[in-house]
Chains A and B, each alone.
Chain A
């Protein structure tokens, strides 16, 4: 009984420390705000997804054409719109949604830590 209660108390203390750890580790952080994606960054993320989707679709179409799953006629009908779609997203990325470093620099924000 006593041992069980002792172990239970230790467990509870360990859990409290785990939960409190972010506050113990950084008692007075520079900023406690959650980083959010700015509208321009979210737009860029959407465009990057669209670009990857279009490029993957092109790749798959090329392969399906090579295997014979897609006929020559169908390939010719499909490849044009897909290429235009990929080109449009690449153009939009170049034009409108600037890389984040550039956005940060333009808006006077400090450089961010990145995923390595």
Chain B
């Protein structure tokens, strides 16, 4: 039987791994699928090329299908996420200059987000008192986990992300150069960009999203709702193939192989050694230091990381409301919630060995957030 060809878009980041592994290690073929993977330069391209049908599905930021469902920033084309591609994996990196200011204010490598945030608050206040420009911090896209996580952390540390600092969007490939040139003082991005900043002696990693919100939602598999509806067999096969690939990616004995695979130029590129840091959660936080383990830095499958949980969709929606991207309404909340499709995830995996863990109702377990943890 010949394989059915599907074209999927991805952005060169560590969490595109399930797509790459599904194709390269036979999980797609086992479902009768042949994946053509197209590397893209921008999230806007990913969205547009899914809308016009160049891609049947894509590696997407978790909030993107929700933004599409709500018609913000773009026309309303119903998109859905029948599975998530993992959890966490972003970090916050600052320039060497800002890091030395933070150290002077009490920060130290590997300290908790609350501790680092208190130092940042001190630096921000001090700059204002001395009449200096506010710090400029970059993230990757307005509807991104990065934007909301960075804002969450700043706010929880007493820093107003709209008044006390300047938040800008910079495409990840330009991040390290912008940091070196002093155009920005820090950024929140996925890997390998943080590790590259450290490797090139341009920045230090202050904290990670795994520490700000343990097991936080991240990328999803996104597709048009009408495509999923008219291609149930392909959708289910794709979910199964990507789940199997995500479990493969999570196994520590596969990490070195995965780093090699992703380091190919058509995928993420960059050296396997740099990629391995994020994959294995052993991060060099500052130039010339020893790797430090960051538990659950990036999870591909464990802890129900592939389950597209409506509570996560609702959290993203709430952040959109919180930061003025969309007005609150019950209809909008319902639309956001229904962009995530745990029902499709479950029907796809029915009869397979994958376990479905029902770990929570509508609301988030607050213990995952750094500022609500009891410890």
Q: Do A and B come from one complex?
A: no
Chain A residues proximal to chain B, CB less than 8 Å: none
Chain B residues proximal to chain A, CB less than 8 Å: none
